[in-house]
C-alpha cells in the first residue's frame, strides 16, 4: 500500500516553542518519513520557518494577524487563531480534497475545539486529546479558588453535551486519540461514544537514559519535577515525609509556581527545612542531572491529564510513586510504580508515605521497579515505535 496522504492541522508547530506547538512539531517530524504529510499551521513570529524545520513535510503556513498575536495571555486562553485557521483548512479541503486520504487535527489538545474537517469529504482523526480532568472528589477541599483558566475548563462538559459543531466533530471522527482512557470516558458520558478510540500519549522519548549514578551516602534522594501548583502533589509528598520522620529521606523539587511558597512553609513547620530543597525553574540539563542521582521519583499529581514527566523518570530507570489517576494511572502499573488512589487527603498522604517507605527500605526491589519502568517506556514510548503505530492507524482508516 502506498504511503497515506495526510493533511495535519495545528494552530502552530515549532521545535523552538514549548507546549502544544512543540508537540505538533514532534508529531510532524515523527511522521514525515512514514506518510505523505502536509501541515497547515500559522508561523510563529521570530521562529525559523516551518518549512526549514520540517524539510520532509509540505508546509502550508500563514502569518497570524498582529492584532491577534498581541492579545498575549488572553490569546493563549481563548485561542482566537483556531477559527481563523479552521476557515483556511475548510477552504483548502474544498479545493484540494483529492490530494489527501485523510485529515488529522493534532492540536489543540483540549476537547473544546470543533474540527474543520467536520462535514467534509475526508475521514479524519482528532487528537491526542487531553485536559479537562476533574479533581478527585475527595481532594476538592484542598483546592483554592479556581483560576480563570480552570473556570473555562468547567464549561467543557456543557459544550460536549450541547455544542452541535463540537458534537458533530466527535460523532464524525473516524478515530479519536486520547492521552488516557478518561478521554473516551468523558465522550461516552456526553453521549458521544467514538467510532474508534486509541490511547496515545502526545509525547514520546528519543531513547532511554543513564546509567544512573546514585550517590550511595546513606541518603534516599526523592525527586519531584513539575510546576508549582497544588495539583502536582508536592505538598502531599512533604506531608508524607513529615509522617515518616525518617532522616534518610531528602527531597528535591524542580519547578516554580504559586505552590512553592506554601510548600516551603510547610516543610519548615514540619522540621524538614534542611532535607527539602526548592530549586525553582532550572535548565533542562540540570533536571537531567537530578534524575541521574535520584533514588526515586515522587509525583503524586492528582489531576495530571497526560504525564510526560513520568516518561522522563521512566527513561532513567527510577522507581515511581504516583497517583493512580489520569495520565500516570494509564502510563504506569504496579510492576514499576507504587500507585496511590487519590481518595481523601489523609489516606492519600498515608499511601504516598507507604510507597516512599517501601522504596527506601528495599533498595533491591526498588531497583527492579526502576528496571521495569525503563523497559516499559522503551517498549511503548520511543518516538519511532509511536510513529509506526500512528502510521498503521492511518492506513487502517483508508478505504
Quick: pLDDT tens for 305-330.
888 899 999 999 999 999 999 999 99
- Average pLDDT of the chain is 93
Tell which CATH classification among 3.40.50.2000, 1.10.472.50, 3.20.20.210, 3.40.50.300 matches the domain 220-380.
3.40.50.2000
Residue among 270, 269, 240, 238 at smallest CA distance from 253: 238
Overall average pLDDT of the 262-270 stretch: 97
Class of domain 5-204+382-397: alpha beta
pLDDT band with cut points at 50, 70 and 90 for residue 268? very high
What does the alpha-carbon distance between residue 252 and residue 295 come to, in Å, rounded to a whole number? Answer: 11
> Residue 285: is it exposed, middle or buried by C-beta count within 10 angstroms (0-12/13-18/19+)?
exposed
**Is the pLDDT reported for residue 391 higher than 90?**
yes
Residue 11, pLDDT > 90, answer yes
273-279 average pLDDT score: 96
pTM, two decimal places = 0.89
Residue 132 reports pLDDT greater than 80: no
**Residues 139/302, Cβ–Cβ less than 8 Å:** yes
Domain limits, CATH 3.40.50.2000, in the chain: 5-204+382-397, 220-380
Predicted pLDDT of residue 210: 80
Q: 361: Cβ–Cβ under 8 A, 6 or more apart, which residues?
A: none
Name the percent of the chain in helix, strand, coil, to the closest 5. 45, 20, 35
Amino acid at each position: 500500500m502506498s504511503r497515506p496522504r495526510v493533511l495535519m492541522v495545528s494552530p502552530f508547530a515549532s521545535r523552538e516553542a514549548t507546549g502544544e506547538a512543540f508537540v505538533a512539531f514532534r508529531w510532524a517530524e515523527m511522521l514525515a518519513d512514514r506518510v505523505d504529510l502536509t501541515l497547515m499551521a500559522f508561523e510563529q513570529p521570530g521562529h525559523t520557518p516551518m518549512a526549514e524545520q520540517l524539510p520532509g513535510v509540505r508546509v502550508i503556513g500563514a502569518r497570524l494577524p498582529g492584532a491577534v498575536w498581541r492579545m498575549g495571555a488572553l490569546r493563549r486562553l481563548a485561542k482566537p487563531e483556531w477559527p481563523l485557521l479552521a476557515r483556511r483548512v475548510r477552504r483548502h479541503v474544498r479545493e484540494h480534497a483529492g490530494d489527501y486520504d485523510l485529515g488529522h487535527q493534532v492540536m489543540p489538545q483540549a476537547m473544546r475545539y470543533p474540527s474543520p474537517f467536520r462535514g467534509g469529504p475526508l475521514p479524519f482523526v482528532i487528537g491526542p486529546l487531553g485536559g479537562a480532568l476533574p479533581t478527585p472528589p475527595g481532594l476538592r477541599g484542598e483546592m483554592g479558588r479556581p483560576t480563570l483558566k480552570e473556570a473555562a475548563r468547567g464549561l467543557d462538559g456543557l459544550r460536549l453535551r450541547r455544542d452541535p459543531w463540537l458534537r458533530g466533530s466527535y460523532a464524525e471522527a473516524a478515530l479519536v486519540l486520547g492521552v488516557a482512557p478518561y478521554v473516551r470516558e468523558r465522550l461516552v458520558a456526553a453521549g458521544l461514544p467514538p467510532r474508534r478510540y486509541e490511547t496515545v500519549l502526545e509525547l514520546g522519548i528519543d531513547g532511554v537514559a543513564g546509567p544512573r549514578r546514585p550517590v550511595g551516602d546513606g541518603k534516599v534522594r526523592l525527586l519531584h519535577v513539575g510546576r508549582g501548583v497544588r495539583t502536582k502533589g508536592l505538598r502531599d509528598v512533604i506531608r508524607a515525609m513529615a509522617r515518616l520522620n525518617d532522616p534518610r529521606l531528602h527531597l528535591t523539587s524542580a519547578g516554580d509556581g504559586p505552590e512553592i511558597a506554601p510548600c516551603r512553609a510547610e516543610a519548615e513547620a514540619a522540621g524538614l527545612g534542611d532535607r527539602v530543597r526548592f530549586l525553582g525553574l532550572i535548565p533542562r540539563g540540570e533536571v537531567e542531572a537530578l534524575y541521574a542521582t535520584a533514588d526515586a521519583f515522587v509525583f503524586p499529581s492528582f489531576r495530571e491529564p497526560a504525564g510526560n514527566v513520568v516518561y522522563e523518570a521512566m527513561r532513567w530507570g527510577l522507581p515511581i510513586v504516583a497517583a493512580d489517576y489520569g495520565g500516570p494511572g494509564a502510563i504506569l502499573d504496579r510492576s514499576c510504580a507504587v500507585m496511590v488512589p487519590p481518595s481523601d487527603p489523609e489516606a492519600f498522604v498515608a499511601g504516598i508515605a507507604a510507597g516512599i517507605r517501601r522504596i527506601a527500605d528495599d533498595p533491591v526491589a526498588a531497583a527492579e521497579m526502576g528496571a521495569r519502568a525503563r523497559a516499559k517506556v522503551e517498549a511503548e514510548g520511543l518516538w519511532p515505535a509511536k510513529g509506526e503505530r500512528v502510521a498503521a492507524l492511518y492506513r487502517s482508516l483508508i478505504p
